[in-house]
Chains A and B, each alone.
Chain A
């Protein structure tokens, strides 16, 4: 245990229906005085975690420690924690003063002290003299400030902010971001901030916790998260990125997008990798120079730079450059070794544990995830024969496949997405996808919560219900040795 830690989450999990986990095995330490941001797409469980720290939900498993004492089951009013709610949740029947003094009144604070504290809190949020105003006469931004004042006036050890800026307009949001950061410095209170806006997270935080599917994807400083994404999800979610599948070669060289690049990362030659290149790290050079060459397909002005897309053979590269290039212009692209970030390929993708069924005339049934298929026996047992309706191995011994454990794998590029539900092997909903150079990589989640990764050149939408067709002859089935 570290005494620097204000709050510690230890293997916290949460399930509402007892079956599917909204939060899985979540462990995190937050130091005193830190500004921590939970960042993730909607539905990733970031608000659930916040609610558990605030005491509005109780964890199904694990512990939440505050200064080394377990607060997992403590009601919200017993925690030295205050929350700024997404929709402010100010009491409409009370004026500004009574809203801010709500917590102080419950503590039976003497009136003079209370008046002083309230006016101090209003001063911090830049709304001095607003005591007597009615809540309903305030603008969204002002209500937001009152909600913050109402929370910080109680001097909590920890302030929780649940997407507090999402209802404000762009300019107001930018302003509040800086003000909140300033406030955090001045007050010295630990902040936990929840947002789905990656720019907001990068601007404000000391530490970012990137979440997806109820799991932590990466914890780090904004620079670490941006420059060294731990996996393809983080690379795709934070900022813009070009992602390519590739293979490591000798001497820190890597090949992808039909070319070879020097990198600074050490990986075993032959390792499958994903290469991440930020659009601003690509230099446009004269045609023929650089590692790639291609034709400009679009160039759009974005205020401080041009978003330029360059088609290099089958692969597309997004480039942010200061100069405008004409559509159709031939250019060369160069990426410095420092600017290529290598992520080891996730080898657990599309691997499933399965069980064999009995041998019949149709073959052997293989059951894995939520799929059941019949497979020719030769595919599993090399050199086997069928003798008088019996399955025999090379030596003529009878094989009984029933109940044997197998691992099933299929390559993402051999499967197909279909919109005819009955045509595929299994159906599900597109959970996430990202673009890899020349195609999209889709993760389809079935109703039984199994993930199938499928490569497809066409654009589908997140949340689309699709059917996945997996050709049986492309499945790799290997027996697990017992």
Chain B
């Protein structure tokens, strides 16, 4: 009788199981529901409805405005912070990095609730500035996700590159724009991806900040809560395509730059 032998390849089984159950099947379900009608027939109606309905298109635009604003503000704050944490005088003390990363250990609804109290003291009535409060809430929530990839990119950045730039006559500002910035592009791309999608969909922050406008996430949520699986799914699928397209475009932009210099 053959003994049951353990092969290293067997280690892949749990991963494949997980991948199929929680990634591939749900994706197929989304696509199935997105492109069928209530009775299970193939249909592009939901898809077309999204792009022809001014309300859903308005939501898409509003989501984009929020996501772009949040991403830009996060980038503006995180870029210098990550640089100082990685290359500054106290770079070896992870204490300062901890200060920025520690909030990730606390549940985000708890953090937003605390932020609300602070904002209430400043603004008196939160309902007066729903957009601004949403932005503040999201920036606060997503900042660590922006800092970490940038921090990693900067720790890997070879200091002799910066010195070479200085050596060849670049002042501090020129060193930033001509050496540090181009070298940190991969870090920026992954940091932006980490923040952009959540900012388009995380409607819990909006709810908590008394912002009654819909974003993509709230739209999906509202369809699902009224058991309209088809319309909810199609929006999920559209978002998925949207993100996929963004990733392909940025990769293309970065690669073609490298290719241009190779040609």
**A residues bordering B, Cβ < 8 Å?**
54-56, 75-77, 81-83, 85-87, 89-95, 98, 102-103, 106-107, 132-137, 150-151, 154
Contact = CB atoms under 8 A, between A and B. Distances in A.
A91 B263 contact: no
Contacts, number: 78
Given A89-B158, A102-B170, 14 more contacts: A54-B163, A55-B166, A56-B167, A77-B167, A81-B167, A89-B160, A91-B183, A93-B258, A102-B168, A103-B168, A132-B261, A134-B262, A135-B261, A150-B168
A93 B178 CA distance: 10
Given A89-B158, A137-B262, A83 B167 contact: yes
Contacts of A135: 261
Contacts of B183: 91-93
| Smallest CB-CB A-B distances: 3 pairs | A95-B261, A103-B168, A89-B164
B178 A102 contact: yes
Contacts of A151: 167
A87 B174 contact: no
A91 B169 contact: no
Interface string B83-112: 000000000000000000000000000000
B179 A91 contact: yes
A154 B179 contact: no
Interface in B212-263: 257-258, 261-263
B21 interface: no
B262 A75 contact: no
A107 B164 CA distance: 16
A154 B262 contact: no
B161 interface: yes
A86 B185 CA distance: 25
B160 A154 contact: no
A77 B182 contact: no
B171 interface: yes
Contact of B163 (A89, A107, A132, A136): A89
Nearest to A86: B160
B41 to A, nearest CB: 52
A77 B170 contact: yes
A132 B261 CA distance: 6
Interface residues of B, number: 23
Interface string B148-179: 00000000001011011111111100100011
B255 to A, nearest CB: 12
Contacts of A106: 168-170, 174
Contacts of A85: 160, 163-164
A136 B263 CA distance: 12
Contacts of A150: 168
B211 to A, nearest CB: 40
A98 B178 CA distance: 11
A99 to B, nearest CB: 9
A154 B169 contact: yes
A15 to B, nearest CB: 17
A54 B167 contact: yes
A56 B169 contact: no
Contacts of A107: 169
A309 to B, nearest CB: 44
A166 to B, nearest CB: 14
Contacts of A133: 262
Contacts of B160: 85-87, 89
Given A85-B160, A102-B178, A132-B263, A93 B257 contact: yes
14 contacts: A55-B166, A56-B163, A75-B171, A76-B166, A81-B167, A85-B160, A89-B164, A93-B185, A93-B261, A98-B261, A102-B168, A133-B262, A137-B262, A151-B167
B166 to A, nearest CB: 4
Given A75-B166, A106-B168, A93 B182 contact: yes
Contacts of A103: 168-169
Contacts of B170: 77, 102, 106
B182 A76 contact: no
A54 B235 CA distance: 58
Contacts of B182: 91, 93-94
Contact of B166 (A77, A92, A154): A77
B161 A91 contact: yes
A208 B183 CA distance: 38
A85 B161 CA distance: 9
Contacts of B174: 106
Contacts of A94: 182, 261
A359 B230 CA distance: 99
Nearest to B260: A95
